[in-house]
Amino acid sequence: MKRILVIGSPGAGKSTFSRKLHNKFDLPLFYLDNLFWKADKTTVAPKMLNKQIRSILKQPQWIMDGNYSQYLLDERLDACDTVFFLDYDVETCLQGVRNRIGKKRPDLPWIEQKEDPEFMEYIRQFPLTKRPKLIEALRKYPQINQYHFKNRRQAREFLNQHKS
């Protein structure tokens, strides 16, 4: 486990899980949100994000937190040896987003001050729109170690069983 992707719906806890993996295995951690978003809530150009992702992929070890399936997902899957898919129910993910409102996060350059209805709808639609694409992409890479967690307990148990 040297090149790890952590994917799943917003609010699933990808960043928290990624930090715990980072602390446990001492691998460099990269948040795609930090690469994509600027502090003023605008985004970097797609070419710039792709360039940054490719630079990370060249490194011998990393944890990459985030979906961004339209940005080099196949290249990321080609390069990784392990994928964690936090595939939690919608309500868990919505509550995860609600719980982080008003809190500073290492994976975003700003603090969310209120619930964003458009973002919450994106999460509600995630199982119908994004999840099938992620499942299909993962099917193309049976050689990768894939962990598919359906709830937070499964993720906690993995972390507890795998000591650094």
Q: What is the mean pLDDT of residues 100-122?
A: 89
Please list the alpha-helical segments (H only) found in 7-72.
14-25, 32-36, 46-57
pTM of the model: 0.94
Does domain 3-161 correspond to CATH entry 3.40.50.1820? Answer: no
Sequence ranges of the domains in the chain = 3-161
* Residues 4 and 59: beta-carbon distance below 8 Å: no
Please list the alpha-helical segments (H only) found in 26-130.
32-36, 46-57, 73-79, 90-99, 117-129
- Residues 61-70: tens digit of each pLDDT: 999 999 988 8
- Residues 1-27: tens digit of each pLDDT: 999 999 999 999 999 999 999 999 999
Tell me which amino acid residue 102 is. G
